[in-house]
Structure 1
């Protein structure tokens, strides 16, 4: 398989991107990389050119660029050229740590969406923190601020196929993010979405989930509109960082006894830190596009890039996009008949 990489996107690009890609290349012998970006910079950074191809570009989309305008005007940017390679069939997936809005625009306007998908959504992977190890997926986590009930229903279908194809979960549990667990609770959007999702027997729908219970392990996939999902995601990220900072401050100000206790607890504390580290869970996926489009955080280091490539490899190898496209085609033919 071939992955098109926007090598210039991100706060620490291209250094972190190249380092992460080379680590992934060394481990996954079935993956090739097309690196789009400044040829001189990339050539200097690459240690081994095996299964790495540099595609020179002359423009860069920055974090401050207006997404749609940048996609239309900067045709020779590393992001646009990488997206075009996927559209043309030269690569199987698109990866970037750059401008999120621009990546979403490239996924929609260049690569295109699967026929039958009204609004592709952004799927994030988050850790379960209720005593059991594992992760869950949140969809939509920020691609669409506004949504309709049918969009949330499609997110349930998309989330199911991601959980099955990439995470290997049979009959994944689907929850709907809401302000109460009762079916009649919530806005007009969530009440109508609840009815649509619960009416589909192919979905293992467990009902509404409150924000405080998102990470308790009760669901494999949680569905939300993009505004609500993004707010919940940012709240979880901020809380996690805050807890780790408070814990560190408490240890450093607790005197000799506290520091000795922390030393004894170091293995457990490191394990906790690893569980809270989102870099190991890969990037956010634009589900509903015709090919895997994956966004890692702008501040991603080489380790995050490696894990995101690992995630993309699983998506391509699991044939998630073809499977879901075939499923939607079958559903459409049934409705037409």
Structure 2
């Protein structure tokens, strides 16, 4: 223990010179190994790595990043972190980034405005990231005043924004078409739809596809019903629809609203699927355990995350990007909440 008043000196960390001395090589050779250069033969590399472990030398990752121009870090700007889709997509992005050797810097924004997005880019720039994935599932990104900075690789997830960047999303239109066609093929005269909030790009694409599918099949298009993704909004809508005998089939824009709607129909004495068939969207883990188990549309959040990270890494390395949007296919999962209508 140091005497009172005596300054305590911290132990100096191992240096490249220490590694070079133990490995019996030059400092330049140690530098090449530390920086991942390939112009060192395998035996020498192994000897240097062993010496690093022996003396406890850790390469300075930040300094190496400045020299190489890459930080092995991806920034993610996300809006509505609590939503099911964003949470699952963010988890998939983090998994794919980690698998590819990148860390993730997460920056939630409170609203998808020009100021908020610009501030987020500035903050991520200060954290030294190689590229950015924008996960803002809202129409604000389509508005002209939201400008994205030049010179930084960017991938946009789940948006209809017409930017000069790769866009990766679930094929929302295909999923809504599969849900609507399934109910029509069972023999229902038409399909009602409980949509998500108008600000949501995904909700808008599902609604438009539902309308178009009914029109293409020559079926009546019922009035649009709007929810907010919550079970409560599904429950409130279900209380209204339960009293209409003409309603025999409902496509709900997400599984959580479908859960609330199922409860309301049960409370009003409507049999599912005997009186009313219900299809959800997302295939949440709980949907297989609803009563009855919910027929729904499965999204591959893992594939969306992987494809968005792949597109960003391609931009980072190639310095260029493709312009073709990536639409990840959906799948109809048939369970017990749908059946032919009673005759």
The structure number with the bigger radius of gyration is 2
Structure with larger RCO (C-alpha < 8 A, sep 6+): 1
**Fold equivalence (TM over 0.5):** no
TM-score, structure 2 as length reference: 0.29
Q: Whose helix fraction is larger, Structure 1's or Structure 2's?
A: 1
